[in-house]
């Protein structure tokens, strides 16, 4: 009997996982385009590049754009939008499934350590030596590109370091890119 | 046994599982060498250093190479669901993984099928996925920092990057954010909140707070949150209760930082070296040993 229950539970769990895939998942985002032809073009391009994307009807909150949208893994927004922009296929809007009215973080917190300046954007922090403008630390974040980005950026001059908005992959990379941009605004002439 | 699931920032690393050892600032696993800087390697280093105080209990790693494209994380998720024996694990920690609710759910279903459930700890990307899956109460401990706590408190945010400004604002007291996270079932059984003051909390409120030793510079050092998660996980794996382990870990992490005389430019490897002395001091003070 216990085995039967275990089997039924597993079958139910698999069904639930499949059902989730057929609806809007909470960790997904929506790419909104002006014309259906752009949606088709973007879907083909993204699928060819190996992305797990689907074309669906838009949720009611989205007022602009055409009557089809592309649903994609939100965490990979930075890389997906970069790929589309490089092919002149940029979306009108990118919004999270959970609430299409949510906007990316725009609140920066600055902490002055005397010789060093730290800026936080969402969960990401970047710290720079004020005199040499060398990036001395990157902390926070939870996506796997953060330790990699830290590895390539720490020890570099702020204006010469690779830009996370260009080489990062995830939303943590995106947040670090915004923190970096704000640091440049505050530190560079 | 303590087991840690996470990534290393190297796409050529592939997939690996096995016992992890620490020698002169490098991890060794199945003949591979991994530098200890930040992320999961820092967590592993801190956990190994903590358990050294108890006589080198084994630390097991499930690791994948991933620089943010997610392929390594997905291979690791699949490996955990289909191929791995998870028996004999007392404490299981999930760390830097590409957040993916679908894969998160499959891993959790697998864990729920085990005869004896391990203590489940989540931090970093996997904690994001746990929250977004609506499964946060299935976990025993989350270890968020300020930005991540605001994300847990914001019931609509799919990632810290989309946390609403009025919640992210620094004027919000930690207790309010924690209450809000619990009100929406977006927190684990216990929270160890990392910050200028560290808090151990649960649904009922504050259990412990740790304010010293205090070094402002610690906030800027990449990996101090990872070491805290590593120390608390290791202590829990020895059988210590979660709230007491949270308190002792927060204290020990701060002391290790103090021993390193940190500046905002200090590397996490310098702090990890001092963890055994810090843990021993804290545990002796509290007569845990």
Whether the predicted pLDDT of A15 surpasses 80: no
- Residue A139 and residue B243 in contact, taking contact as beta carbons nearer than 8 Å: no
Does B161 contact A104 at a Cβ distance shorter than 8 Å? Answer: yes
Look at strands A135-140 and A124-129 and give their pairing: antiparallel
Whether the predicted pLDDT of B118 surpasses 90: yes
Q: What is the distance between the alpha carbons of residues B42 and A141, in angstroms, rounded to a whole number?
A: 14
Whether the predicted pLDDT of B141 surpasses 80: yes
Residues of A in contact with B147 (CB under 8 A): 120, 122-124, 140
Smallest Cβ distance to A144: which of B67, B113, B163? B67
Range in A35-49, A53-67, B30-44 the model is least confident about: A53-67
Whether the predicted pLDDT of A16 surpasses 70: no
User: What band does A56 get if pLDDT is binned at 50, 70 and 90?
Assistant: confident
Q: What does the DSSP assignment read for A80-96?
A: HHHHHHHTT---SEEEE
Q: Measuring CA to CA, which residue among B48, B114, B57 is closest to residue B80?
A: B114
Question: What counts of helices (H) and strands (E) characterise chain B?
Answer: 11, 12
- What are B258-278's pLDDT values in tens digits? 999 999 999 999 999 999 999
Average the pLDDT over B176-200 and give the result: 96
- Residue B195 and residue B145 in contact, taking contact as beta carbons nearer than 8 Å: yes
Residues in chain A: 189
Q: What is the distance between the alpha carbons of residues A119 and A124, in angstroms, rounded to a whole number?
A: 8
- Residue B151 and residue B131 in contact, taking contact as beta carbons nearer than 8 Å: yes
Name the residue of chain B whose CA is nearest to A169's CA: B68
Name the residue of chain B whose CA is nearest to A72's CA: B100
- What are A143-161's pLDDT values in tens digits? 999 999 999 999 999 999 9
- What are B24-79's pLDDT values in tens digits? 889 999 999 999 988 999 999 999 999 999 997 889 999 999 999 899 999 999 99
Does A139 contact B222 at a Cβ distance shorter than 8 Å? Answer: yes
Predicted pLDDT at A19: 46
Q: Supply A40's token pair.
A: 């088709």
Other beta carbons less than 10 A from residue A41's beta carbon? 16
Q: Measuring CA to CA, which residue among B220, B259, B258, B218 is closest to residue A129?
A: B220
Predicted pLDDT at B288: 58
Residues of A in contact with B37 (CB under 8 A): 147, 150-151
Q: What is the distance between the alpha carbons of residues B41 and B52, in angstroms, rounded to a whole number?
A: 16
Predicted pLDDT at B206: 96
Whether the predicted pLDDT of B204 surpasses 60: yes
Cis amide linkage into residue B73, ω under 30° from 0: no
Whether the predicted pLDDT of B193 surpasses 70: yes
Residues of A in contact with B39 (CB under 8 A): 144, 146-147
Predicted pLDDT at A14: 53
Whether the predicted pLDDT of A22 surpasses 90: no
**pTM summary value:** 0.90
Q: Supply B258's token pair.
A: 């103090």
Evaluate the CA torsion angle B216, B218, B222, B228 in order and state its sign.
negative
Average the pLDDT over B149-161 and give the result: 93
Whether the predicted pLDDT of A173 surpasses 90: yes
Residues of A in contact with B195 (CB under 8 A): none
- What are A79-137's pLDDT values in tens digits? 999 999 999 999 998 988 888 778 788 789 999 999 999 999 988 999 999 999 999 99
Alpha-carbon gap: B142 to the closest alpha carbon of chain A (Å): 13
Does A98 contact B125 at a Cβ distance shorter than 8 Å? Answer: no
Average the pLDDT over B144-152 and give the result: 93
Q: Round the average pLDDT of chain A to a whole number and report it.
A: 86
Whether the predicted pLDDT of B209 surpasses 90: yes
Predicted pLDDT at B256: 97
Tell me the ipTM for this assembly.
Answer: 0.90
Q: Round the average pLDDT of chain B to a whole number and report it.
A: 94
Whether the predicted pLDDT of A55 surpasses 50: yes
Q: Supply B261's token pair.
A: 């005389």
Residues of A in contact with B125 (CB under 8 A): 142-144, 172
Q: What is the distance between the alpha carbons of residues B3 and B8, in angstroms, rounded to a whole number?
A: 15
Average the pLDDT over A55-74 and give the result: 82
* pLDDT > 90: percent of chain A: 57
* Secondary-structure percent of chain B, ordered helix, strand, coil, rounded to 5: 45, 20, 35
If 0-12 CB within 10 Å is exposed, 13-18 middle and 19+ buried, where does residue A73 land?
Answer: buried
CB of A53 within 8 Å of any CB in chain B? no
Alpha-carbon gap: A127 to the closest alpha carbon of chain B (Å): 6
Whether the predicted pLDDT of A2 surpasses 60: no
* pLDDT > 70: percent of chain B: 99
Alpha-carbon gap: B64 to the closest alpha carbon of chain A (Å): 10
- Strands of A69-73's sheet in order across: A54-56, A69-73, A28-32, A93-96
């Amino acid at each position: 009997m216990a085995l039967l229950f275990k089997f039924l539970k597993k079958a139910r769990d698999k069904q639930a996982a499949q059902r989730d895939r057929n609806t809007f998942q909470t960790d997904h985002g929506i790419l909104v385009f002006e014309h259906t032809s752009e949606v088709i073009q973007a879907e083909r391009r993204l699928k060819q590049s190996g992305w797990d994307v689907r074309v669906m009807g838009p949720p009611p909150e989205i007022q602009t754009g055409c009557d089809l949208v592309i649903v994609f893994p939100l965490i990979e927004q930075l890389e997906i939008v970069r790929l589309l922009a490089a092919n002149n296929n940029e979306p009108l809007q990118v919004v999270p499934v959970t609430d299409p009215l949510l906007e990316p973080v725009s609140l920066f917190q600055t902490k002055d350590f005397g010789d060093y300046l730290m800026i936080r954007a969402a969960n990401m922090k970047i710290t720079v030596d004020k005199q040499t403008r060398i990036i001395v630390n990157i902390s926070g974040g939870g996506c796997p590109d953060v330790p990699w980005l830290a590895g390539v950026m720490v020890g570099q001059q702020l204006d010469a370091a690779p830009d996370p908005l260009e080489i990062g992959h995830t939303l943590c990379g995106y947040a670090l890119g915004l923190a970096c941009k704000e640091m440049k605004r505050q530190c560079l002439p | 046994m303590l087991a840690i699931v996470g990534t290393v920032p190297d796409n050529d690393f592939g997939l690996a599982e096995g016992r992890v050892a620490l020698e002169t600032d490098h991890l060794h696993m199945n003949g591979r060498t991994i530098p200890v800087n930040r992320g999961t390697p820092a967590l592993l280093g801190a956990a190994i250093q903590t358990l050294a105080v108890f006589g080198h209990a084994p630390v097991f790693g499930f690791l994948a190479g991933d620089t943010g494209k997610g392929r390594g994380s997905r291979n690791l998720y699949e490996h955990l669901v289909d191929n791995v024996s998870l028996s004999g694990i007392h404490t299981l920690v999930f760390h830097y993984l590409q957040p993916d609710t679908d894969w998160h759910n499959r891993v959790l279903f697998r864990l729920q099928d085990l005869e004896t459930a391990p203590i489940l700890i989540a931090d970093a990307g996997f904690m994001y996925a746990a929250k977004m899956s609506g499964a946060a109460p299935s976990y025993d401990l989350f270890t968020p920092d300020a930005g991540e706590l605001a994300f847990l408190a914001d019931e609509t945010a799919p990632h810290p990057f989309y946390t609403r400004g009025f919640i992210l604002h620094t004027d919000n007291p930690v207790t309010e954010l924690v209450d809000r996270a619990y009100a929406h079932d977006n927190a684990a059984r216990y929270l160890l909140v990392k910050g200028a003051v560290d808090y151990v909390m649960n649904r009922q409120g504050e259990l412990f707070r740790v304010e010293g030793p205090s070094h402002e510079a610690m906030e800027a050092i990449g990996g101090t949150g990872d070491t805290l998660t590593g120390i608390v996980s290791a202590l829990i794996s020895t059988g210590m209760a979660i709230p007491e382990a949270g308190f002792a870990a927060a204290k020990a992490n701060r002391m290790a930082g103090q021993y390193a005389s940190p500046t905002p430019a200090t590397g996490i490897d310098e702090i990890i070296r001092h963890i055994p002395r810090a843990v021993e001091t804290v545990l002796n003070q509290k007569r845990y040993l």
